[in-house]
């Protein structure tokens, strides 16, 4: 691993610890000085680290992860989601921030659990720890996360979704995907990120709906169930959201509990809060 990559991971480790602390003590609204002392940094140094990493100050980040802020995000979610559904996934009025073009494999292909597919993978530094990027000849099919030392477990987790596929490590192939995914300046409508869904018809419908939740907004499982015409299927929607194989790109992190509570996230609630905070900064910058 390069010196730059190591430095990025060390920065994330500091921020990750800070997020865990803020999650537990957010009601106390700890000052920058208190946070800096915990991180063994100067207040100015911590301020610069947060600004560089998330595009907002520690105080702004703290505000972004409180439940009150989550409820504010939810306030207009139904109308936003309805608008996105009306607009669809193509055309100049598109609301999806990553400009994704996607396709789903047939149910028959899904039942084969990846048989006949070759999936290339690689680990790359990201703002949220190591990103496990997985691609087929059709495009991005998987994105997971790991902390340092947890690479093998993350790979085993993702491989279990398609146990009959052939896997090969090819970081050179996956690196351009990672670069496009985590650099907002590369999100271009005329150069969409190509992804492939491998799941059941129901799961794919849920994941397609997730793609329509705009940056900086959130929705609920019940709203998604309504959007796909299955108003009584909120629990099944929750299961499908939990199985989303392309984290971050397909924004399952933007789904909250009915009252705005932070609900479970496959890659950890701390990481979910980190992603939402990062997106808050991106939305403000945009």
pLDDT exceeds cutoff 80 at 261:
no
The angle, 0 to 180 degrees and rounded to 10, between the axes of the packed helices 32-39 and 3-25 is 130
Question: Which structural domain, as residue segments, surrounds residue 242?
Answer: 76-266
Give the pLDDT confidence of 2-18 residue by residue, as tens digits: 555 667 777 778 877 88
> Which position among 9, 74, 134, 252 bears the catalytic label?
252
Is 252 among the residues known to form the active site? Answer: yes
88 & 166 share domain? yes
pLDDT given at position 51: 77
231 & 117 share domain? yes
Give the pLDDT confidence of 183-239 residue by residue, as tens digits: 888 887 778 889 988 888 899 899 989 988 888 888 899 999 998 999 999 999 999
- Residue with more model confidence, 91 or 87: 87
pLDDT exceeds cutoff 60 at 250:
yes
The residue among 13, 38, 64 that closes a domain is: 64
The residue-averaged pLDDT of 254-283 equals: 83
How many folded domains does the chain comprise? 2
Return the HEC string of the chain: CCHHHHHHHHHHHHHHHHHHHHHHHHHHCCCHHHHHHHHCCCHHHHHHHHHHHHCCCHHHHHHHCCHHHHHHHHCCHHHHHHHHHHHCCCCCCCCCCCCEEEEECCHHHHHCCCCCCEEEEEEEEEECEEEEEEEECCEEEEEEEECCCCHHHHHHHHHCCCCCCEEEECHHHHHHHHHHHCCHHHCCCCCCEEEEECCCHHHHHHHHHHCCCCCCCCEEHHHHHHHCCCCCCHHHHHHHHHCCCECCCCCHHHEECCCCCCCCCCCCHHHHHHHHHHHHHHHHHC
pLDDT given at position 216: 80
Flag whether 100 is in a domain.
Answer: yes
Give the pLDDT confidence of 115-160 residue by residue, as tens digits: 888 999 999 999 899 999 999 988 999 999 998 899 999 999 999 9
Q: Give residues with Cβ within 8 angstroms of 181, minimum separation 6.
A: 98, 126, 131, 133, 140, 143, 193, 248, 249
88 & 7 share domain? no
Give the pLDDT confidence of 202-218 residue by residue, as tens digits: 998 999 899 888 888 88
85 & 146 share domain? yes
55 & 103 share domain? no
Checking 147-156 for CB contacts under 8 A at 24+ apart, the result is 147/13, 147/16, 148/9, 148/13, 151/123, 154/130, 155/121
The structure's pTM equals 0.72
Residue 286 banded pLDDT, cuts 50, 70, 90: low
pLDDT given at position 20: 79
pLDDT exceeds cutoff 70 at 78:
no
104 & 236 share domain? yes
Residue 92 banded pLDDT, cuts 50, 70, 90: very low
Percent of the chain with pLDDT strictly greater than 90: 37
pLDDT exceeds cutoff 60 at 91:
no
Flag whether 121 is in a domain.
Answer: yes
As a whole number, the mean pLDDT across the chain is 82
109 & 224 share domain? yes
């Amino acid at each position: 691993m390069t010196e730059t990559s190591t430095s990025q991971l060390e920065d994330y480790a500091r921020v990750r610890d800070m997020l865990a602390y803020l999650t537990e003590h957010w009601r106390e609204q700890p000052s920058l000085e208190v946070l800096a002392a915990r991180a063994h940094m100067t207040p100015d140094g911590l301020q610069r680290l947060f600004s560089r990493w998330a595009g907002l100050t520690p105080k702004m980040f703290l505000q972004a992860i409180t439940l009150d802020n989550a409820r504010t995000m939810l306030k207009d979610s139904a109308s936003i989601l309805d608008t996105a559904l009306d607009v669809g996934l193509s055309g100049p009025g598109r609301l999806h921030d990553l400009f994704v073009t996607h396709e789903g494999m047939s149910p028959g292909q899904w039942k084969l659990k990846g048989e006949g597919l070759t999936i290339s993978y690689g680990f790359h530094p990201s703002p949220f720890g190591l990103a496990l990027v997985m691609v087929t000849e059709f495009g991005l099919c998987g994105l997971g996360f790991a902390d340092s030392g947890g690479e093998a477990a993350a790979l085993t987790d993702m491989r279990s979704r398609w146990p009959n596929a052939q896997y090969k490590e090819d970081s050179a192939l996956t690196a351009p995907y990672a670069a496009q995914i985590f650099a907002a300046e590369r999100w271009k409508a005329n150069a969409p990120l190509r992804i492939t869904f491998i799941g059941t018809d129901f799961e794919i419908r849920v994941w397609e709906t997730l793609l329509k939740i705009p940056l900086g907004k959130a929705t609920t499982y019940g709203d998604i169930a309504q959007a796909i015409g299955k108003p009584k299927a909120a629990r099944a929607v929750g299961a499908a959201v939990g199985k989303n194989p392309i984290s971050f790109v397909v924004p399952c992190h933007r789904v909250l509990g009915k009252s705005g509570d932070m609900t479970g996230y496959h890659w950890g609630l701390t990481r979910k809060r980190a992603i939402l905070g990062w997106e808050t900064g991106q939305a403000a910058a945009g």
